[in-house]
Structure 1
Amino acid sequence: MTLPRTNEHERFERGLRALSEIDGHAGEKVVAQLADIAPDFARYLIEFPFGDIYSRPGLDLRSREIATIAALAALGNAAPQLKVHIEAGLNVGLSRDEIVEILIQMAVYAGFPAALNGLFAAKEVFAARGLSGQERAA
């Protein structure tokens, strides 16, 4: 099997575009926080998940964020990353109610503590964005 060759600069640029579209300032903030401790890891974070995986055909960004929110909630130990991806879900068109349903669904497969932690993380994100009650994200 021959693997396609990809210019590292292309991966990085593609990753930056995807990161900006999906996570906006929250993603940029994470990358910036790594600059003084692990700049190579910041580059990997842009190139692999965003330049390679998020940029693949087959799933739209909305579907990818549903999967990501569910996975991070199920892990139960990734609250900061979950909050970033709840923001990302809102950025790519998920509504507040859809995110709540994703997190409620996690009670079945990851347990009530994981679902509760996810819901409390979502509550913080929604409050910061001014989404209260049953309002939907724009």
Structure 2
Amino acid sequence: MIQHHQSAGESRLERGRRALADIDGQAGEKVVATLADIAPDFATYLIEFPFGDIYSRPGLDLRAREIATIAALTALGNAAPQLKVHIKAGLNVGLSRDEITEVIMQMAVYAGFPAALNGLFAAKAVFAGLPPRKEEGK
């Protein structure tokens, strides 16, 4: 079970940077970097609150947190760039392509077919940029 906990003396920003790197890797850093010239304070808030406070809480592992995030972003229906980042994050924390697809399909029941379709197209775009699965190459 992958979790992030606060280390003694670690600030919210430090904890958030560590969680962001582990969860989103370079994709998260790119989002933060793109905010540097327009809203650097917002970039700090983005690191401190979601990653330093929420993702670092005990109670759910990172897989479960990414399932919830992928579901929520899919249900919103208008957050494709963020959904793509979190689909990559889900893969990074151990979700399979099939699990991500199932989570998105499940949202058709609660958010409607258009939101689920948009989510599936976002997943398809992310998956297309990845190496083929081993079973696909056989």
Fold equivalence (TM over 0.5): yes
Residue 129 of structure 1 and its aligned partner are, at CA, apart by 1.2
Deviation at 1:130, TM superposition (A): 2.3
Deviations 1:42-84 (A, max 9, x none): 0000000000000000000000000000000000000000000
- Give the paired residue count: 129
Letter in 1 for 2:84: K
Cα separation, 1, equivalents of 2:23 and 2:129: 18
Q: Percent identity?
A: 81
Question: Which structure 2 residue ranges, 5 or more long, are not aligned?
Answer: 1-9
Show the counterpart of 1:83: 84
Aligned to 1:119: 120
Letter in 1 for 2:49: F
Q: Say what the alpha-carbon RMSD is for the aligned residues.
A: 1.9
Structure 2 length-normalised TM: 0.89
The letter for the 2-side match of 1:62 is R
Amino acid at match of 1:57: P
Q: Deviations over 1:70-111 (max 9, x none)?
A: 000000000000000000000000000000000110110000
Runs of 4+ in 1 over 3 A off after TM superposition: 131-135
Q: How does 1:1-138 map to 2 (within 5 A)?
A: 10-131=11-132
